[in-house]
Amino acid sequence: MSLLTITKTQEENKLTAKISGRVDTSTAPQLDNEVSLSLDGIDDLVLDFKQVEYISSAGLRVLVSLQKTMIAKKGKLTVCGLSDDILDIFKATGLTDFLEIEK
């Protein structure tokens, strides 16, 4: 059973994906697939991390990949709802330098 749930809502060209559970080596491909294949016509992607308990390196790689995709589409990626722990990880790994973060 997957430990990750992704709920997507689309309003015009904005897609919000609420992520719930653990993003680790086994679930990162699921995040990648479910989000990246829903980006047709989307130029505003929001990843809601309120329900994310943990994100591993494999999961963080997916964020880098999505960021590249959105920039190439001349759109933007926003990550919101980060817990303090996960925000610390974003800072330590340099993701805060190029990802748009909303508390």
Binding site for other proteins (CB under 8 A): 24-26, 29, 32-33, 36-37, 39, 56-58, 60-61, 64-65, 67-69, 71-73, 88-89, 92-95, 97-98
In terms of CB distance, is 20 or 69 closer to other proteins? 69
Tokens, residue 44? 């505003």
CB nearer to other proteins: pick between 46 and 99: 99
Site of tokens 């591993």: 56
Q: How far is the CB of 58 from other proteins (least distance, A)?
A: 4
Measured CA angle at 49 (ends 90, 84), to 5 deg: 50
Q: How far is the CB of 9 from other proteins (least distance, A)?
A: 20
Residues 6+ away with beta carbon under 8 Å from 70: 39, 43, 45, 76, 77
